[in-house]
């Protein structure tokens, strides 16, 4: 069987002087997507959004009821891109040191040794993140923003690529701690995962009945992923007109009467990075307005604080973003 282009590129980036292009990223992305689709029914947009966030050096918060494969999706994604994966179950008694790590005294040597927590990985799944108190939630802030952690006065760099995928259950609110605005703003996307359609659920039942078990195979590795991130950063052009379009969208969230706190400059940066990543995933070295539209809703909606009257009427940040997208002039 002929070696896939993704695997050939994976070997090339290990050699001195090997480079990637947006067209190479499209080929790699298609390989990764096909691999994940072997084991996932539905969730097409969610798979795309995870890759967008990864290439844009962002993080993802997934919200959905239990049993809709949030963990399975995260694990399959990490396996397909060849990255290490760790899962931390957030509970009310979880301490920051349980996530970051701590120094443990070794009586044999008479010295303290660093015991690293689960945050020392490429892909960290923070499962049910809103079940832990704010002190534990905030332990992720430095890692998400700076790609480093501070433990007892010592700073440790995290190996790239690093990405947090957090989950939360929208149904059970008793005993939970809603994420503060500073934490929510660190996520590039907040994805709302719905239940499968009747057709998709039937397919899931058939797979389980037949005992079909397919393994996700590694298609790239962390070195390749870092190269892909560099391509998105350095090789994807965005015109001043499209940058102005991003600015207009975010500024309008600050003047919408339904919103008491709109998107910050971090929201603009998230749209910039996400739209560049989506352009590269489509094999283009330039961003078009449709790329911004693709990431706009999930990239900004969760950052908005709505007025009480708007919430009572059932308005959400995503509804506001749909309206802004429909009414903001698009550059030609």
- The superfamily (CATH) of domain 19-92+121-220 is P-loop containing nucleotide triphosphate hydrolases (3.40.50.300)
The whole-angstrom separation of Cα 252 and Cα 255 is 5
The pLDDT of residue 16 is 45
Of 68, 35, 69, give the one whose Cα is nearest residue 51: 35
Asked if residue 123 lies in contact with residue 51, where contact means CB atoms within 8 angstroms, the answer is no
Q: At what angle do helices 240-255 and 265-281 cross, to 10 degrees?
A: 140
In which order are the strands placed within the sheet that holds 60-63? 85-89, 123-127, 163-168, 60-63, 189-192
Q: C-alpha angle 187/48/17, rounded to 5°? A: 90
Say which residues have a Cβ less than 8 Å from residue 319's Cβ, sequence separation at least 6: none
- Lowest pLDDT segment from 60-69, 185-194, 202-211, 227-236: 202-211
289-300 vs 240-255: helix crossing angle, rounded to 10: 30
Better-predicted residue by pLDDT, 138 or 263: 263
pLDDT > 60? residue 128: yes
Residue 19: the pLDDT is 83
Q: Closest Cα to residue 51, out of 34, 69, 68?
A: 34
The pLDDT value recorded for residue 6 is 53
Query: Which CATH code, of 3.40.50.20, 1.10.8.80, 3.40.50.1980, 3.20.20.210, is assigned to 236-332?
Result: 1.10.8.80
For the chain, give every residue range classified as CATH 1.10.8.80.
236-332
For the stretch 143-189, pLDDT in tens is 999 999 988 888 999 999 999 999 998 876 666 788 888 788 899 99
pLDDT at residue 115, rounded to an integer: 86
In this structure, of 31-35, 70-74, 180-184, 294-298, the range with the lowest mean pLDDT score is 180-184
pLDDT in tens, 12-37: 555 545 589 999 999 999 999 999 98
Facing residues of 306 across strands? 259
* Residue ranges of the chain that CATH labels 3.40.50.300: 19-92+121-220
């Amino acid at each position: 069987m002929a070696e896939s282009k993704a695997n050939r590129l994976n070997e090339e980036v290990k050699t001195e002087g090997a480079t990637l292009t947006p067209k190479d990223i499209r080929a790699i992305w298609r390989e990764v997507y096909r691999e994940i689709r072997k084991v996932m029914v539905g969730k097409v947009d969610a798979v795309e959004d995870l890759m967008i966030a990864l290439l844009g050096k962002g993080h993802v918060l997934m919200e959905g009821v239990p049993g809709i494969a949030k963990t399975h999706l995260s694990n399959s994604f990490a396996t397909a891109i060849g990255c290490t994966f760790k899962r931390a179950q957030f509970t009310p008694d979880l301490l920051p040191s349980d996530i970051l790590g701590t120094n443990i005294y070794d009586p044999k040597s008479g010295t303290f040794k660093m015991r690293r927590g689960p945050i020392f990985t490429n892909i960290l799944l923070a499962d049910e993140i809103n079940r832990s108190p704010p002190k534990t939630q905030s332990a992720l802030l430095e890692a998400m923003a700076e790609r480093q952690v501070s433990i007892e006065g010592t700073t440790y760099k995290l190996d790239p690529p690093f990405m947090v995928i957090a989950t939360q259950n929208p149904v059970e609110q008793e005993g939970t701690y809603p994420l503060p605005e500073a934490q929510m703003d660190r996520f590039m996307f907040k994805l709302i995962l719905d239940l499968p359609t009747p057709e998709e659920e039937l397919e899931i039942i058939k797979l389980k009945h037949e005992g079909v078990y397919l393994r996700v195979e590694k298609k790239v590795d962390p070195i390749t992923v870092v190269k892909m991130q560099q391509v998105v950063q350095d090789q994807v052009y965005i015109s001043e007109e499209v940058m102005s379009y991003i600015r207009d969208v975010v500024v309008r969230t600050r003047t919408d009467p339904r919103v008491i706190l709109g998107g910050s400059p971090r929201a603009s940066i998230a749209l910039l990075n996400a739209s560049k990543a989506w352009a590269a995933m489509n094999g283009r070295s330039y961003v078009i307005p449709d790329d911004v539209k693709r990431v706009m809703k999930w990239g900004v909606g969760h950052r908005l604080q709505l007025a009480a009257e708007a919430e009572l009427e059932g308005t959400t940040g995503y509804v506001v973003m749909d309206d802004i997208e429909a009414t903001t002039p698009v550059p030609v």
